[in-house]
Amino acid sequence: MAERIRNRNGNCLEPGDDGLPVQDVGIWAVDKHDYLQRYIEASSGPRGSFLRPRNDYPPAGAGFVDLFAGPGRARVRETGEYINGSPIVALEHTRQPFTKVVAVDLDPENVAALKSRTAKYGARAEVILGDWNTVIEDAISRLPEYGLNLALVDPYGLEPLRFETLQKLACVRRMDLIIHFPIADMKRNITNVKADEYAGFIDRFLGMHAEIKHLSDIPRLIDLLRIQLKPYGYEQEQVRSVAVCNSKKTPLYYLVYVSKHPKGSEIWKSLTRNSGKQRGFDGF
C-alpha cells in the first residue's frame, strides 16, 4: 500500500510552518494564486472608487468571498514551499483593501485553522462553517450590499458545484466571479464506471443538460456556462478563462472569470494575455 501523504480532508499529515494545519497542493496552485493576487492588485483602481464617500453617502465598500477556503495556508508538495491560501491573499492586499473577506469551508479543522490565521484582521474577516450550497445566503449577507465584490469558487472537483448557488451570487448587483472549471476531472470521470452519475454532476453545475459524445466536447461546456450566466448581466465579452496546467502543460482546470462590467474583463485579459493559456468563448 502506498504511503499516505495527506489526510482525507486534503491537509498535510504534519502541521505547517506556523503550527496550524496546511493544505497539500501541487505546484499548479502557485499559478492559481498568482493569477488571483495579480487580479486583486490590478483591480485596485476600480475597487478604490468604492472605498471613498460619494455624494454625502458613506463608502460602499468592497468584498471578497471564498467558498472553498481551506485552512488558509498550503504546502507545495513538489518544493516544500509554504504559500498563503486565497483568503489570506485577499486580506493581505493593502492597496485599496477589501473591507470584508468572507471565507466558507465545510471542514471543521479548516475553519478552526482559518479563524486562528485571520483573527489579527479583526472584523474585516469572517469565517463560516458549512456547505457553500446551504450557507450561501449567509455568506452574501456579510458582503457590502452596494460595494464591489469578488467571489472565488474553487473546489477540489465538480461534485459540490450547483448552478442554483452560482445564480444567487450572480444576483448580487456588483459581483465578479472566478470559477474553477475542472476539465481534467471531467475527462477522467466521464468515461469511468460511474459516468452516468458524473454526467448528472455536470448538468447540475451547468443548470442544464449537456450532451457529451466525445471527450473533445468537454471544453465547450464552458460556453454553456457562459450562456447560463448571460441573463444575469455577464455578457460574452466579459467572460474569459485561463488554463491552470500540470507540469506536462496539460490543463487541469480553467479559471473562468466573469464580470458585469467591461473594465473587469479588460483587467483580467491584460494580466493573462502573455500566459499563452487564455481564451474567450470563440474557441481554444
Q: Which of 51-55, 147-151, 244-248 has the highest mean pLDDT?
A: 147-151
Q: Could you please report the per-residue DSSP string of 85-116?
A: -HHHHHHT--SS--SEEEEEES-HHHHHHHHH
Q: What is the pLDDT of residue 209?
A: 92
Nearest Cα neighbor of 126 from 158, 156, 95, 104 is: 104
Q: Each residue of 204-243: pLDDT tens digit? A: 999 999 988 788 888 889 999 999 999 999 987 667 889 9
CATH architecture under which domain 23-279 falls: 3-Layer(aba) Sandwich (3.40)
Burial level of 202, CB count in 10 A (0-12/13-18/19+)? buried
What are the domain boundaries of the chain?
Answer: 23-279
Residue 8 confidence class, pLDDT cut points 50, 70, 90:
confident
What average pLDDT does this structure show over 72-97?
Answer: 96
Q: Return d(Cα 270, Cα 44) in angstroms, integer.
A: 14
